[in-house]
Structure formats: structure tokens, C-alpha cells
């Protein structure tokens, strides 16, 4: 058992085993010899701690000593005039607290329902949502200020708002931070972002005043921690760190209805140093989506999304489990996904890119290990012909399999390693890796990976592309890949050949 995070009010721990997300047994948590609760997850937190105090946590037969951090001020939002009855507008109380508290302060939100409009966070402030605290975002579009995509002046240019990989006006989120450092939202409370109560899902692809807000939006911040809370009912993406460094997302619950459009779980965007650990996600789109902008955006900023750790997470429902793109022109580098459980997502790993996204950055250095996928229709997809929502995704330049000249608009995909994985209940295909003839996928390695199928599955489309095709219980499909290494790969119950190849330069199959 190791410590993941310590604050003045909480501590978060992680068990070291090979069981994804769940510990495999139920155990007791004791704090200074007092029973806290039962638990069955690898990542868990204890809250309600006193600042600057020594504790001993016992769990699963182990004990860890730790000392909580000291805070300058700890004060209730009630002291600033909040009511917490779900009717009174408590925005002013949150805003006053944010502006008045010094750095290294804790703003405590007691049990109650707090109706607020967007609140802007300030450096050094921790928002602590106690058990039973529920922050409810305003439903009316008119209650949301606009974050400008580009703010320009004399010798000054700032990008504040964004939408799907571009600089664009968007509405502020219920908690928004711009160029703030060392900010935290922690606790056992809930943030309800009010989407169902508003009109956010009506004509959701149409910009009305500005683009839809995220649940939590952090722009160009260094040191962001979101720990323990539940985020749900968001107008678009749930948690969106954008050009941020040192982001810690631990022990969260993220929930949206399965039919809520484009409500991704966590979308690190042009970020460096992101840890997503012990997070449970069930949403209406991709559970975790890594992004780095569209082509023109990446030309300006040249910022990849890199050094990403995803561990001990449960992805239950969603179009994709861990997804790259489709806005990945700046590149995605050094991603490690381990000890995760995927249940019922349409795809497991999913990479979406297309001609036009460019080669300013590349996707490279990706490892998946100790993963279990249950009833995932297609565990692995790399699709370089993605028919994106805009018109460009549907023209011949994108979908043709003819070899085109390589230029700065040609995407590139590097090396991927998948090891020690079990995939059961596969429906459409075990894996589809479709590179471009002029830009093949560099390298795919499977090491100790097994696939079994759902015999009762219906035929379906494994990839989203203009020239789509339907399959059922297909094996591994490689097209335009430079190197494939299959070591101790077991495929049981597929229809047709277990391994399909087209224009693969080198393939090695060993046991």
C-alpha cells in the first residue's frame, strides 16, 4: 500500500497488486485504530482529517504512517453568506471566498445543495466538498459568461476558450481556472453540472452564442488536483485540463447518461504530466480522450500531450475506453495504461486520425499492460481514415487507400505495446489497425494477450470511416503496418483466419 496524495483534509492510497481497479477482496480501513469503512478497490481515500496531524492507516493487512498538511485558513463557505438550500443563488459566496482567501487555504462546503453559476478558482485554494455536499450548476445558458477563444491587444494575445481542438468562444464551466497554480477540488461531495435541466443537448452541434461548457475546465494551470468527488450531468466533456502541467485526478466518479452527446469523461489536452488513477467512468462518449489540437492549432502551439499515466481505472460504458484524438496534430507521447478494467465500452484503445491532421507531432511510446476487457466490441482500434464530424472527414482525400504524397498534413503513428491482457466477449473484431499506405503504423506488439468472443454478437462496424465495413467475431486485422510482433497471443472462437494482414512489411508470431 502506498500513498498517492495527502492534503490537509484527506489521504489517498493505492494497493500494489495485479488486479485491475478492484482489489479482489473486501477489507477494512482503520484510521488511528478506529474503523472507517469496508472497501474493495485498489485506490481509496479517507476524508475529514485534521490539518498537521499524524495518522496511521491500516488496510488490507498493511499500515502506513502519514502526516496531513498544514493550511493557512480553513473556513466554511457559509461564513461568506452561502445558504445551501438549493434555491438561493450561492455564487456570490463562493466568489467572495475565492477572492478573499490567501494561498494555502481550504474553503469547506458542508452538506447541502448549493446552486451556483460559474465560479473562477484562484491559486492556492482547495475547495473541500464534505460528504452530502452537492454543487448544482445553473441550467440557463444566459447565466454563463463567455470565455473568448482569442483575446488580443497591443503586443498581447491570449487563448482562453476552446472547442474540439481549436481556439473558440466557449461558456465558462461551473469551476473554471485560467493561469492559476496549485488548485484543488477534493472531498466526498458531488458536482452536478445541470445539463439535463438546461437545453445543452438540443442541437448540440450548433454553436449558440458560444460552445458548450465543460464540467471542470482548467486552462494553463500548473498543479491541479481533483480527488474523491463525483462529477456528473455535464453539458460536454466532464474534466478538461488544457495546456496544464502536473495534473492529479484520483479516486473520482464521473457519470453521464449513455445517450448524453459528446460527454467525454477526462480529456487531457496539450498537457504534460497527467495522472488518472482510481477513476470510475461511465459516460455518453469516450471515457478518457487525449488531445493536442487540430492542424492549424498545432502549428501555432506545437505542444504535445505527453507523460500520461492511467492506472487502476474502471471504464464502464462509453464509445471508447482510452482514446487518442481525433484532434492529435500536436502529438501524443509517452502514455502508460495499466491495471484498468474496461466493461461494455464499444472500443478499448481507440486512435482516431486522418489526412489533414498533420505530422507536427506523432503518437508514440504507448504501453498497455495488465488490462482486462469484458464485452468490449473492439478492444483495439487505430484508424487513420476517421470520418470526422466536419466536411473534411468525408472527402476522397481522407478515405482513399491509394498512396498519396507525404506532406505536412500527413499524420504519423509510432509504436504501441500491449502485454498481459485478457479480452473476453469480443463482438466485432479483436483489433483493427489501419495505417495509410504513405504513412504506415510503425510498430504493434502483442505479448501475452488473449481474445475470446461473444458468439451471440451481431455484426457491426469496428471503425468509423467513410468506406465502412461490418464484421462479426473477426481476428486481428493489420493493414499498412511496418512491423507486427505477436508473442503468446491466444485467439479462440474467431470466424475466419485469426490474423489478417495487408501490406505489412514484417510480422513475427512466436509462442
pLDDT, one tens digit for every residue, the chain (511 residues): 999 999 999 999 999 998 999 999 999 999 999 999 999 999 999 999 999 999 999 999 999 999 999 999 999 999 999 999 999 999 999 999 999 999 999 999 999 999 999 999 999 999 999 999 999 999 999 999 999 999 999 999 999 999 999 999 999 999 999 999 999 999 999 999 999 999 999 999 999 999 999 999 999 999 999 999 999 999 999 999 999 999 999 999 999 999 999 999 999 999 999 999 999 999 989 999 999 999 999 999 999 999 999 999 999 989 999 999 889 999 999 999 999 999 999 999 999 999 999 889 989 999 999 999 999 999 999 999 998 765 566 889 999 999 999 999 999 999 999 999 999 999 999 999 999 999 999 999 999 999 999 999 999 999 988 888 999 999 999 999 999 999 999 999 999 999 999 999 999 999 8
Evaluated on CA atoms 368, 373, 379, 382, the torsion sign reads negative
DSSP state of 392: G
Evaluated on CA atoms 200, 204, 207, 213, the torsion sign reads positive
What DSSP string runs through 278-330?
Answer: S-EEE-SSEEEEEB-B-HHHHHHH---EEEEEEES-EEESSSEEEEEESSBTT
Distances (CA, A) of 99 to 92, 160, 227, 244: 11, 20, 22, 22
**CB-CB contact of 120 with 98 (8 Å):** yes
β-strand pairing of 162-163 with 166-167: antiparallel
Closest CA to 174 of 208, 202, 212, 201: 212
Closest CA to 128 of 203, 48, 182, 58: 48
DSSP state of 411: -
Closest CA to 312 of 60, 44, 20: 20
Reported as half-sphere exposure (CB side, CA atoms, 13 A), residue 336 has a value of 9
H or E element, residue 91: helix 91-100
Amino acid at each position: 500500500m502506498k500513498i498517492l496524495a495527502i492534503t490537509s483534509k484527506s489521504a489517498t492510497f493505492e494497493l500494489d497488486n495485479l488486479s485491475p481497479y478492484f482489489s479482489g477482496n473486501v477489507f477494512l480501513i482503520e484510521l488511528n485504530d478506529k474503523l472507517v469503512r469496508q472497501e474493495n478497490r485498489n485506490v481509496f481515500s479517507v476524508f475529514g482529517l485534521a490539518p498537521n496531524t499524524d495518522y496511521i492507516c491500516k488496510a488490507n493487512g498493511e499500515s502506513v504512517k502519514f502526516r496531513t498538511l498544514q493550511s493557512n485558513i480553513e473556513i466554511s463557505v457559509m461564513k461568506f453568506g452561502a445558504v445551501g438550500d438549493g434555491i438561493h443563488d450561492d455564487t456570490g459566496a463562493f466568489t467572495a471566498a475565492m477572492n478573499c482567501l490567501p494561498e494555502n487555504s481550504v474553503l469547506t462546503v458542508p452538506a447541502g445543495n448549493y446552486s451556483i453559476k460559474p465560479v473562477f478558482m484562484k491559486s492556492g485554494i482547495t475547495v473541500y466538498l464534505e460528504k452530502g455536499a452537492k454543487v448544482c450548476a445553473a441550467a440557463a445558458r444566459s447565466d454563463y459568461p463567455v470565455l473568448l477563444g482569442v483575446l488580443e491587444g497591443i503586443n498581447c494575445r491570449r487563448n482562453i476558450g476552446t472547442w474540439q481542438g481549436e481556439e473558440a468562444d466557449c461558456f465558462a464551466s461551473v469551476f473554471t481556472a485560467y493561469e492559476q497554480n496549485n488548485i484543488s477540488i477534493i472531498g466526498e461531495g458531488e458536482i452536478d453540472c445541470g445539463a439535463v435541466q438546461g437545453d445543452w443537448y438540443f442541437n448540440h452541434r450548433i454553436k449558440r452564442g458560444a460552445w458548450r461548457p465543460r464540467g471542470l475546465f482548467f486552462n494553463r494551470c500548473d498543479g491541479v488536483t481533483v480527488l474523491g468527488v463525483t462529477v456528473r450531468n455535464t453539458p460536454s466533456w466532464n474534466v478538461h485540463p488544457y495546456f496544464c502541467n502536473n495534473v492529479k485526478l484520483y479516486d473520482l466518479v464521473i457519470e453521464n447518461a449513455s445517450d448524453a452527446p459528446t460527454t467525454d469523461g477526462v480529456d487531457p489536452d496539450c498537457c504534460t504530466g497527467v495522472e488518472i488513477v482510481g477513476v470510475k467512468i461511465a459516460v455518453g462518449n469516450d471515457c478518457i480522450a487525449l488531445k493536442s489540437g487540430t492542424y492549424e492549432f498545432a502549428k501555432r502551439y506545437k505542444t504535445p500531450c505527453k507523460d500520461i499515466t492511467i492506472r487502476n481505472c474502471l471504464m464502464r460504458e462509453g464509445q471508447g475506453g482510452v482514446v487518442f484524438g481525433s484532434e492529435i496534430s500536436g502529438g501524443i507521447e509517452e502514455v502508460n495504461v495499466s491495471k484498468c478494467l474496461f466493461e461494455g465500452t464499444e472500443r478499448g484503445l481507440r486512435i482516431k486520425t486522418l489526412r489533414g491532421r498533420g505530422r507536427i507531432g506523432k503518437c508514440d511510446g504507448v504501453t498497455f499492460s495488465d488490462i482486462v476487457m469484458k464485452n468490449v466490441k473492439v478492444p483495439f482500434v487505430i484508424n487513420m481514415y476517421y470520418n470526422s464530424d466536419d466536411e473534411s472527414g468525408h472527402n476522397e482525400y481522407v478515405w482513399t487507400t491509394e498512396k498519396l504524397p507525404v506532406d505536412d498534413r500527413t499524420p504519423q503513428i509510432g509504436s504501441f505495446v500491449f502485454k498481459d491482457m485478457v479480452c473476453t466477449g469480443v463482438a466485432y473484431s479483436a483489433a483493427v489497425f489501419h495505417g495509410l499506405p504513405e504513412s504506415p503504423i510503425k510498430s504493434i506488439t502483442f505479448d501475452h494477450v488473449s481474445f475470446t468472443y461473444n458468439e451471440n454478437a451481431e455484426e457491426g462496424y469496428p471503425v468509423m470511416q467513410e468506406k465502412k465495413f461490418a464484421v462479426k467475431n473477426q481476428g486481428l486485422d493489420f493493414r499498412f503496418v511496418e512491423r507486427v510482433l505477436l508473442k503468446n497471443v491466444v485467439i479462440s472462437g474467431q470466424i475466419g483466419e485469426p490474423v489478417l494482414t495487408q501490406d505489412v512489411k514484417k510480422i513475427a508470431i512466436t509462442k
